[in-house]
Amino acid sequence: MFNLRHLQYLNAVYQYKNFTKASEALYVSQPAISSAISALETELGAKLIVRNSKKVAFTYEGEQFMVWAQRILRLCTETENAMQDLANSAEQRLRLGMSHAFTDLVPRIFSTFTEQHPRAQIYLDEGSMNKHVEMVRSEQLDLAYNGFPEGPGAEDFERIPIVKAEIHAVLHPDSPLAELERIPLRLLAQERLIMMDVQSKVCRVMTQEFERYQITPNIVLNYNQILCMVNLVWSCRHVGIISAVEGQRVPGCEGLVLRPFQEPLVFDVGIFMKKGRYLPKLGWELIRFLRQTCPASPAASGEGC
């Protein structure tokens, strides 16, 4: 059975490629590190490193062993964190991603939810679906509230639907399109569009629809800040594109007009997380809170965001 401390020493040498730096990082002597690595090599029956006066190099066997060693160390850390979480002995931290289209929920999370969980520390990253897919996959985020990923790699995530969002056009009140209850998609061919950024679920859905109807859209800007889109709608009479959920306000759009499309463009919004990864209890509490807080019906059209 491997000595966990020996694996930690070897991992430090692998990280720094230098015994002195590894020794300083671990606050242990270089002879202790050398002894640990020698013990591992004897146990494995393989040479792991080649050391000279200038540098430390890992052998092929050493490189292969490090793949497994780092998995073991990562699993040990996750296990320790999980047990601390279950024992309520750790600070309740949660790293949450959220689409900028649904930030109306943020005040509720940082008021009502955190009042219910006074020890909670929530770190929020605002961004688009694809950005959060990569951050959840690389474990920079615990979970994300956004449109769900599709296509290759989507099976890597556990998905919990919360609401349905519908894509809307954001219009100046004087726009002729504002007089329509629902807008035929073909009419957008005549408009200058402000589209959500290319990593967003909305942009992906709209691109598919434009291709289906053989429309070449005149997209003058892909935005990742709603206020940028709003200013262009007000000042230049451009048409913004955004997703909205019934009962949830999109901050910054007050006074503008939302109109859905003739053929409803609806998609699921909810929590997605990496499969097989431990989610802190605080994450499950937040999911429960969102299910209770958010409406479950598709978005409806109306005045204002």
Count how many Cα atoms sit within 13 Å of the Cα of residue 301 in the half-sphere of its side chain.
20
**Identity at 77, one-letter amino acid code:** T
Q: Do 69 and 114 belong together in one domain?
A: no
Q: Do 279 and 156 belong together in one domain?
A: yes
pTM of the full predicted structure? 0.68
Q: Pick the last residue of a domain from 86, 101, 130.
A: 86
CATH of the domain at 14: 1.10.10.10
Give the structural domain span for 220: 164-266
The pLDDT value given to residue 229: 93
In whole angstroms, what is the distance from residue 15 CA to residue 33 CA?
A: 14
> What value, to the nearest 5°, has the Cα angle with vertex 95 and ends 116 and 249?
65
Q: Pick the last residue of a domain from 62, 86, 110.
A: 86
> What value, to the nearest 5°, has the Cα angle with vertex 186 and ends 211 and 237?
110
CATH of the domain at 112: 3.40.190.10
CATH of the domain at 262: 3.40.190.290
Q: Do 102 and 187 belong together in one domain?
A: no
**Identity at 240, one-letter amino acid code:** G
Q: Do 70 and 159 belong together in one domain?
A: no
Q: Do 233 and 245 belong together in one domain?
A: yes
Q: Do 193 and 209 belong together in one domain?
A: yes
Q: Do 260 and 184 belong together in one domain?
A: yes
The pLDDT value given to residue 305: 38
CA dihedral (95, 98, 100, 101) in degrees, to 10, reads -160
The count of other CB atoms within 10 Å of the CB of residue 223 is 20
Tokens of 26: 């671990």
Q: Pick the last residue of a domain from 64, 86, 108.
A: 86
Residues lower than pLDDT 70 in the chain: 53, 81-91, 295-305
Q: Do 197 and 142 belong together in one domain?
A: no
In whole angstroms, what is the distance from residue 230 CA to residue 192 CA?
A: 14
The pLDDT value given to residue 248: 74
Q: Do 99 and 66 belong together in one domain?
A: no
Q: Do 155 and 298 belong together in one domain?
A: yes
Q: Do 29 and 114 belong together in one domain?
A: no
The pLDDT value given to residue 102: 84
Q: Do 299 and 152 belong together in one domain?
A: yes
Domains: count for the chain: 3
